[in-house]
A and B are shown apart, each in its own frame.
Chain A
Amino acid sequence: MTNGKSFLSRQDLLALAVLAALLFIVLPVSVDIFRLNLVGKYLTYAFVAIGLVLCWGMGGILSLGQGVFFGLGGYCMAMFLKLEASTPEATKIQSTPGIPDFMDWNQLTELPWFWEPFKSFGFTLAAILILPAIFAFIVGAAMFKRRVGGVYFAIITQAIAAILTILIIGQQGYTGGVNGITDLRTLMGWDIRTDSAKYVLYFLNGGLLMAVLVLCLFVLKSKLGRLLVALRDKEDRVRFSGYDVANFKIFVFCFAAVLSAIGGAMFTLQVGFMSPSFVGIVPSIEMVIYCAVGGRLSIFGAVYGTLLVNWAKTTFSETFPELWLFGLGALFIAVVLVFPNGLAGVYRAQVAPRVKKWLHTRKSGPDAPVQDPQAAE
């Protein structure tokens, strides 16, 4: 972190190595492609959770509308895939062949103008990154320049999530409505539904996640990272140190939005559809809880938190559907009351001292240890 050295400390490298080992070796070896695909799906939420660590944990800006950005990314990708799946041959029984099926059912006779550019993969990729950033910039600039923060920001972002959901559902001719955009088949001619494709997508997703983590570490280790911590603590002091506080908040909000959108796009690719149920209030709040369970200050914690909550959800909801909601509710409360620092807090208190000791005794460098620490920071 100091001048000249890499911004990655030994601790960070170890944490990255452990996560990489888990994602790229342990999981692919130990579970079948069906479960692995599920893990891949969960990991797409981890992008959102990481964004929330920066935005909420570091910057103190709680957004209850991250689903909006997840959805934007997911819908962009889904639009591209849907157009590819809607070739004139594949849709020749429609009244207007060549447009997505749901448009045909809604009497659209030509592709709406805003769908046109999504025929291009390059544009789609750009849109996934840029659209959420623009949207987040507008919302962020409007709110942070006027110093709307904390609770108000949370509630307004929540309202935005609600508005967007109603809009997507209501405009079903253009968006696929409540069913979403379904039946996505190929990406540039490559069938994404096969098992081999699922493997490739899983590793691509994992790789992106690692890249995002490294990027986040860079941001956090820069002065900007320290500024965020400073901001959360004493906003006025930062302002009276000559910083335009709003710009930093806008930046981190946009950054988190872009991360969410990447997660959304990967979600669409791996799951094969996108629907408004990932945009609304409930998924947005659930994403916050992933982040809280992991420890709102730790980007690695966010990944483990996401995996843990979703794993618990899948397992417990299979066996005790009744108990699951009680469990999830209790988890929310416990995280707030008992473990405000989540898994990362537990790790720091219990495991980190030992790892540190281990690192000091072994000068050979950070080989990935076999055990699976809960979280690292």
Chain B
Amino acid sequence: MFADYTWSELGSIFAMQGFAGLILFSVFVLMALGLAIIFGQMGVINMAHGEFMILGAYVTYLCSHIVENYVPSLFGVYFFGAMILAFFASAALGALVEWALIRHLYKRPLDTLLATWGLSLMLQQAYRSIFGAREVGVTLPDWLLGSVALTDTIEVPINGLFVMALTLVIAVAVYFLMFRSRMGMQTRAVVQNRVMAGAVGINTERVDRKTFALGCGIAGIAGSAFTMIGSTGPTAGQLYIVDTFLIVVFGGAASLLGTIASSFAISQAQSTMEFFLSGSMAKVLTLLTVVGILMLRPEGLFSLKIRR
């Protein structure tokens, strides 16, 4: 397949393919981080995760509309504001859902799956009723479109770089929140021993709500960012759900680092296979490999040996 190309051409293609893999990696991390917190840390199987992402996307869409029509001068930078709004919108909805639904179900993880699936159906219909069944187009500022030419032959999409940067920022922020802040400490305390955490004066209900909201908020940011590369429609959230769960499970549900590692492994596998095989088969093979490895090593890539 490469016989007709010069080394420099091949070099640049592989460089670009490397970038494609990295972009996919960033997309996966963005998708999965929120769920890693909600599912991995709290044990809630949030099937509505995709719908929280799409909420972020719709918020971005609304922002783009409003800014375009009323304050066009700010159009170049609205995206940052939209992402922050998306975070808070999804987080607020998350907190509401936690209060109304999830907090009753912490002891029945499989039931959270059913309840959140129901929630996802309702959210989809809500989006359809509010925004219409058609996909909406989010207008982006020009500087986000197009690509940077690194050399004559290597071009890197700007939105890809943006997603990569965003992922880095969010991953670092999550690290500090979960491992270097009081809130993170409380969260981990509640996760490990709810009763004890309550006994030492942690308001476990508030911690639960905040943690769930944080996970949803990150989903919102992810959704906002994905308006750059994907579609925004009532059912678009469904596209992400299987991949996202597999990433988190593959990484070892309880480990945030595992989620990042598994994002990396799966994204590289998928992007390499996509390059050498046809699209559908690449997807099937990637999923099969992941499922196969999970069958052999159910605890995922990263797991703690715990004394029972």
Contacts and interface: CB of A to CB of B under 8 A. Distances in A.
Interface stretch (B72-80, B87-95, B170-178, B285-293): B285-293
Nearest to A139: B295
Contacts of A330: 118, 122
Interface in B35-94: 39, 43, 45
A166 B249 contact: no
B283 A166 contact: yes
Nearest to B246: A159
Contacts of A170: 280-281, 284
Contacts of A229: none
Contacts of A148: 294-295, 298
A328 B123 CA distance: 12
B101 interface: yes
Contacts of B280: 166, 169-170
Given A151-B109, A328-B121, A333-B119, A163 B295 contact: no
B294 A156 contact: yes
A332 interface: yes
Interface stretch (A127-135, A253-261, A304-312, A334-342): A334-342
A152 interface: yes
Contacts of B249: 152, 155-156
A156 B294 CA distance: 8
Contact of B114 (A166, A169, A289): A289
B101 A329 contact: no
A268 interface: no
Contacts of B110: 56, 62, 150-151, 154
B298 A146 contact: yes
B114 A163 contact: no
A62 B113 contact: yes
Contacts of B241: 281
Contacts of A166: 280, 283-284, 287
Nearest to A288: B114
A55 B283 CA distance: 30
Interface in B106-126: 108-115, 117-122, 124-126
B105 interface: yes
A162 B287 contact: yes
B121 A332 contact: yes
B242 interface: yes
A205 B260 CA distance: 49
A329 B291 contact: no
A258 to B, nearest CB: 21
Contact of B122 (A151, A169, A325): A325
B112 to A, nearest CB: 8
B129 A322 contact: yes
B257 to A, nearest CB: 19
B104 interface: yes
A330 B104 CA distance: 16
Interface string B287-308: 1101100111010000000000
Contacts of B283: 166
B243 to A, nearest CB: 9
A159 B114 contact: no
B242 A159 contact: yes
A156 B109 contact: no
B245 interface: yes
Chain B: interface secondary structure? helix
A340 B111 CA distance: 9
A322 B125 contact: yes
A160 B110 CA distance: 18
A57 to B, nearest CB: 11
A281 B117 CA distance: 11
B125 A163 contact: no
A167 interface: yes
A142 interface: yes
A331 interface: yes
A56 B249 CA distance: 21
Contacts of A146: 295-296, 298
B69 to A, nearest CB: 28
Given A150-B110, A152-B249, A337 B121 contact: no
Nearest to A323: B125
Interface in A218-238: none
Which among B104, B124, B125, B290 has the highest number of chain A CB atoms within 10 Å? B125
A281 B281 contact: no
Contact of B120 (A56, A139, A329, A336): A329
Given A151-B110, A156-B249, A332 B287 contact: no
Nearest to B242: A162
A92 interface: no
A61 to B, nearest CB: 10
A303 interface: no
Contacts of A336: 105, 108, 111-112, 114-115, 118
Nearest to B292: A142
For the complex of A and B, the 7 pairs showing the least CB-CB separation, nearest first, are A332-B118, A329-B122, A329-B121, A325-B125, A170-B280, A148-B298, A142-B295
Interface of A: 56, 62, 64, 139, 142-143, 146-148, 150-152, 154-156, 158-160, 162-163, 166-167, 169-170, 281, 285, 288-289, 292, 322, 325-326, 328-333, 335-337, 340
Interface of B: 39, 43, 45, 101, 104-105, 108-115, 117-122, 124-126, 128-129, 241-242, 245-246, 249, 253, 280-281, 283-284, 287-288, 290-291, 294-296, 298
24 contacts: A148-B295, A148-B298, A151-B253, A154-B113, A155-B245, A156-B294, A159-B242, A159-B245, A159-B291, A162-B242, A162-B287, A163-B287, A163-B291, A166-B284, A281-B242, A325-B121, A325-B122, A325-B124, A326-B122, A328-B118, A332-B114, A336-B118, A337-B105, A337-B115
